[in-house]
A and B are shown apart, each in its own frame.
Chain A
C-alpha cells in the first residue's frame, strides 16, 4: 500500500493520540487501508463505472471545485449579506450533505469492520478514533475544495473580516453536516432495517446526480428574477433554517447591526452543532447495536405487486411473456445500480421540456405561449426510453443470467418484448402522463391529438434502440463493469428523436397530415413489434 501524504501530516500528531490512549500505529494502519480502498471507489459525482487508474477520490475533487463556481455569484452580487450568504450556505450544505450520505455511507456503515477489526488486538477507542478521523479527513477534502475558490473571491471582494468569518463558519457548518448525517443514519437504523437504509442511500445518490444538473440550470437562470437589494427583516421561521443561522453572522458583524435576532440566529449556528454532537456521543452505543441490522437479513414484506400483476395480465396473454414482464419490472425496482444510472436522467427529461420555453416565457410578456408549437418539446420525455433501454442489459447480479439458458423457453422473443413493455410502462408512461397533464393545462386540449401521436412513437423507439444498443443480447446478463456511460448514448438518441419530431412538425402543417402520420405509426408499431426479435 502506498503511503498517503495525509498520513505523513497526521504522523506529526502521533503524540497527541498516544496521550488519549489511542494506539497510533494501529490507527495509521487502519486509515492507510481505508484510504487505499477509497482511492478505488468511484464517487457518485462521476457517475461512470469504467475501472480507472489513479486515485478516484482525488480526481473527483475537481468536480467539487467546479460546483463551487456556482457559489461565487452569491458572494459577489451585492452586500445584502444575510440573504446572499444564507443562499450560499444552503447550496454548500446541500451538496456537502448529499455527498456525505451518498459516498461516505460506505465508511460509516462498513459492516465488515466489526469482524475484521474488533477481532484484532486493537482497542475500541482506536477503532472509533480511526473512523472519526477518516470521516473528518474526507469531509475536509470535500468542503475544502468546495470553498477554496469562494473563500478567495470573498477575500478579494469583501476583505479580510469576511474571509475570517467565512473560514470559522465553514468549520462549524462541516461539523453540523457531519453530525447531522450521522444522526440521520441513527434515526433510520433505529426504526427501519438495513435494506431500507441502503434504499435511502440509493435515493440520495440519485438526488445528488440529478440536482447537480438541475442546480446549474436553475442557479444560472434564477439571477434574472432575484433581487438582492432588500435589507434584513426578522421572521420567526428563520430560526428553523440552518443556513440562515450562518448568514446572520455576516449581517451582524459586517453591517454592524447588533440586533438581538441576528445574535440569536448566529448563536444557534454555534450551539446546535455542539448539542447535536453531545446527542451523537450518547447515541453511539445504540448505533453500534443497530448496525447489526445491516448484517441481518431483512424480514421483507410480501411485495404489494397487485397493480403490477394486473398490468401484467393486460400486457400479455402469453404466460412466458407475462413472467418476464414481471421479472423485468421487479429487477428495475430492486436493482440499485440501475436506478442510480437511469433515474437522474429520467428526472432531467421531466424538466428539459420546460427549459425550452422558459426563456421565451420570461422574456416577452406578450408572447402567446398557449398557441405556440412549444408543446413539441414534450418529445424530450421520449428520452426515458433509450435511457432505460441502454442500461437494461446490465445487472449487479448478472451471474443469475444462466436461468435464461437453462429454462425451456419456446420463443426467445418473449423475453425481449416483455422487457421492453416493462420499460415503457414503468419509465415512460408515468413521466409522459404527468407531463401531458401539465402541458394540456398550459397549451389547452388542442394538443391531445398530437400527444397521442407522440406516445405512439415510444414503442417503436424502444425496439429500435434495443436492437441498436444491445442487438440480440439478453437483459440483465452482463456486469456494469466497463460498460458505456448512459449519457454517451443519449446524444445519438436525441438526434434520432429529433428526426421523429421534425416529421411530426412538418406534417402538422399539412391537411390531414397528423391523421396520416397516426396511421403510419400504427402500422409501424405492428410491423416493428411483429418482426423484431423474430429470428432469435
Chain B
C-alpha cells in the first residue's frame, strides 16, 4: 500500500500527517509501532530499527489509536494502572500521576467507573492520559480531539504545544485541516501511499498559491469536483420530492 515514503523526523516537531481516506496514514503509524512486521524498507526510531525483537523502544512512545479501542469493562483507574505497568512504571508512581491527570482532565467523578459507561469524549480523555502517563518522547496521535468539547480541545492543543517546547516529538494525524494547519510545525501530505507534499504551512502555501490547508489538500489530491458533486446531490434530493 505504501510506496516510497522517505521521511526524516526531528526532535521537537509537531508533524501534521494528513491524507485522504485509505492513503496509508494508519499503515505508516502501525509500521512504526511494530504492529505490522511485513514490510519492505527500513524504519528507525531513536536510531534503532523497528525490525527487532526488542520492543524496548516502545517505552518512549505514547499512542492514541483512532477508533478509541479500549478495554472498556475495566474502570478508568484499572485501565491506567494496567497501561502504566506495561510501560514499566511502579504502582505508586502510576497511582499518583494518574490521580493528578484525571483531576486535571476533570474525570475524577468517574475515575472508578467502568469505561463502557463513558461518553465518547471521556473515553478519549482516558486514552490521552494513558498515552502520556509514562512521559514519552514521541507521541502518535490519531484524531486525538475526536469527541472532546471545545474547552478540552483547547487544553489538549496547548498541552501538545508545551510538550513540543520541552523537546518532545508529536506525530499528529487528523482529517480536520484547520487544526492541523494551526498546530503543525511541519505538514506531510500523503496520497496513494506516496508523499506529495512536505513542509511548513507557509512553504506549502507558497508552492500552491492557495489560502487554506483545506484548499491545498483539495488541490494536491486532485480533487476539484466538490461543487459538481454537491449540486448533483442537491438535485437528487429534490428529484425524489417531485414524485
Of the residues B33, B34, B54, B86, contact of A26 by C-beta under 8 Å: B86
A37 near B86 (CB under 8 angstroms)?
no
Residue pair A122, B65 in contact (C-beta under 8 Å): no
Determine the distance from Cα of A118 to Cα of B65 in the docked complex, in whole angstroms. Answer: 12
Q: Does the CB pair A41–B73 fall under 8 Å?
A: yes
Neighbouring A residues of B53 by C-beta, 8 Å: 123-124
A178 to B65 CA separation, bound complex (whole angstroms): 32
A114 with B35: CB separation less than 8 A: yes
Chain A residue nearest to B77 in the complex (CB):
A1
Q: Which of A25, A33, A116, A119 has the most CB of B within 10 A?
A: A119
Residues of chain B with a CB closer than 8 A to A281's CB: none
Q: Point out the residue from B35, B55, B81 that lies within 8 Å of A122, measured CB to CB.
A: B55
Is A405 in contact with chain B by the CB < 8 A criterion?
Answer: no
Q: Is A52 an interface residue (CB 8 A)?
A: no
> Given the interface contacts A112-B71, A118-B35, does A123 sit within 8 Å of B82 by beta carbon?
no
Distance between B112 CB and nearest chain A CB, rounded to angstroms: 12
A36 CB-CB contact with B under 8 Å: yes
Q: A121 near B88 (CB under 8 angstroms)? A: yes
A112 to B115: give the CA distance in the assembly, Å: 14
Q: Which residues of B contact A112 (CB under 8 A)?
A: 69-71
The CA-CA distance from A25 to B85 in the complex, in Å, is: 8
Q: Beyond A26-B86, A112-B69, A118-B33, is A123–B55 a contact (Cβ under 8 Å)? A: yes
Interface size counted on chain B using CB atoms at 8 A: 27
Instruction: For the complex, give the distance between the alpha carbons of A1 and B95 in Å.
Output: 12
Contact residues, B207-229 vs A (CB, 8 A) = none
A526 to chain B, nearest CB (A): 36
Docked CA distance A36–B81 (Å): 13
Residues on B with beta carbons closer than 8 Å to the beta carbon of A123: 53-55
Pair B70/A121 contact, Cβ less than 8 Å: no
Cα of A30 to Cα of B70 in the assembled complex, Å = 14
CB proximity to B under 8 Å, residues A111-170: 111-112, 114-124
Question: Within 8 Å CB of B114, what residues of A?
Answer: 40
Chain A residues near B85: list those with CB within 8 A.
25-26, 29
Whether the Cβ atoms of B61 and A119 lie closer than 8 Å is yes
Q: A121-B58, A121-B86, A123-B53 are in contact. Are A116 and B70 (CB under 8 A)?
A: yes
A127 to chain B, nearest CB (A): 10
- Of residues 61 to 77 in B, which have CB atoms within 8 Å of A's CB atoms? 61, 63, 65, 69-71, 73-74
**Chain A contacts for B55, CB-based, 8 A:** 120-124
Say whether A1 contacts B71, CB under 8 Å.
Answer: no
**In the complex, what's the smallest C-beta–C-beta distance from B170 to chain A, in angstroms?**
16
Q: Is B143 an interface residue (CB 8 A)?
A: no
Interface status of B198 (Cβ within 8 A of chain A) = no
B136 to chain A, nearest CB (A): 11
Q: Which of B33, B35, B54, B71 has its CB near the most chain A CB atoms (within 10 A)?
A: B71
Q: Produce 1/0 per residue, B28-55, CB < 8 A to A.
A: 0000011100000000000000000111
Q: How many contacting A-B pairs (Cβ < 8 A)? A: 69
Contacts of A111 in B (CB 8 A): 69
Residue of B nearest to A40 (CB): B73
Pick the most buried of B56, B74, B86: most chain A CB atoms within 10 A of its CB: B86
CA distance A111 to B69 in the complex (A): 9
Q: Which residues on A sit within 8 Å (CB–CB) of B74? A: 1, 33, 36-37
Which of A29, A41, A118 makes the CB contact (< 8 A) with B82? A29
Contact among B35, B70, B73, B78 with A119 in the assembled complex (CB-CB below 8 Å): B35
B105 interface residue per 8 A CB criterion: no
- Considering only residues 249-296 of chain A, those with a C-beta below 8 Å from chain B are none
Residues of A with C-beta under 8 A to B63: 115, 119
Q: Which residues does chain A contribute within 8 Å of B69, judged by CB atoms? A: 111-112, 115-116
Chain A residue nearest to B116 (CB atoms) is: A40
- Cβ of B118 < 8 Å from any Cβ of A? no
Give min CB distance, A201 to chain B, whole Å.
18
With a cutoff of 8 Å between Cβ atoms, the chain B residues found around residue A33 in the complex are: 71, 74, 78, 82
Closest B residue, CB atoms, query A112: B69
Our pick among A36, A41, A115 for the contact of B65 (Cβ within 8 Å) is: A115
A112–B33 CA distance with the chains assembled, in angstroms = 15
User: How far apart sit A112 and B63, CA to CA, in the bound complex (Å)?
Assistant: 14
* B86: A residues at CB distance < 8 A: 26, 29-30, 117, 120-122
Partner of A36, one of B56, B57, B78: B78
Whether A120 and B58, one on each chain, are in contact in the complex, defined by CB atoms closer than 8 angstroms, is yes
Chain B 190-207 against A: per-residue CB contact (8 Å), 1 yes, 0 no? 000000000000000000
A25 to B114, CA, bound (A): 24
Q: Determine if B10 is an interface residue (Cβ-Cβ < 8 Å).
A: no
Closest B residue to A289 by beta carbon equals B38
Q: Does B87 contact A (CB under 8 A)?
A: yes
In the complex, whether B182 has a CB less than 8 A from a CB of chain A is no
Task: Compute how far the CA of A392 lies from the CA of B65 in the bound complex, rounded to whole angstroms.
Answer: 36
CB distance from A287 to the nearest CB of B (A): 14
Question: Could you give, for residues 31-64 of chain A, a 1 whenever the CB lies within 8 Å of some chain B CB and a 0 otherwise?
Answer: 0110011001100000000000000000000000
Q: Which chain A positions have C-beta within 8 A of B54?
A: 123
CB contacts under 8 Å to A, within B146-186, are none
Q: Is the CB of B83 closer than 8 A to any CB of chain A?
A: yes
User: Does B59 have its Cβ within 8 Å of any Cβ on chain A?
Assistant: yes
Which single residue of chain B is at the shortest CB-CB distance from A125? B53
**Whole-angstrom distance between the alpha carbons of A122 and B57 in the complex?**
10
Given the complex of chains A and B, what is the CA–CA distance between A32 and B83 in angstroms?
12
Considering only CB atoms, which chain A residue lies closest to B86 in the complex?
A120
**Which residue of chain B is the closest to A120 with respect to CB atoms?**
B86
* Among A25, A26, A116, A122, residue most surrounded by chain B Cβ atoms (within 10 Å): A116
Q: Can you report 21 residue pairs joining A to B where beta carbons are below 8 Å apart? A: A1-B74, A25-B88, A26-B85, A29-B82, A29-B85, A29-B86, A32-B82, A33-B71, A36-B74, A36-B78, A37-B71, A40-B114, A112-B69, A115-B35, A115-B65, A116-B71, A119-B58, A120-B55, A122-B55, A122-B58, A123-B53
Question: A119-B61, A121-B59, A123-B53 given. 18 additional CB < 8 A pairs?
Answer: A25-B88, A30-B86, A36-B74, A36-B78, A37-B71, A37-B74, A112-B69, A116-B71, A118-B33, A118-B34, A118-B35, A119-B33, A119-B35, A120-B83, A121-B55, A121-B88, A122-B55, A123-B54
Query: B: which residues have CB within 8 A of A?
Result: 33-35, 53-59, 61, 63, 65, 69-71, 73-74, 78, 81-83, 85-88, 114
Give the 3 A-B CB pairs with smallest separation, nearest first. A121-B58, A121-B59, A120-B86
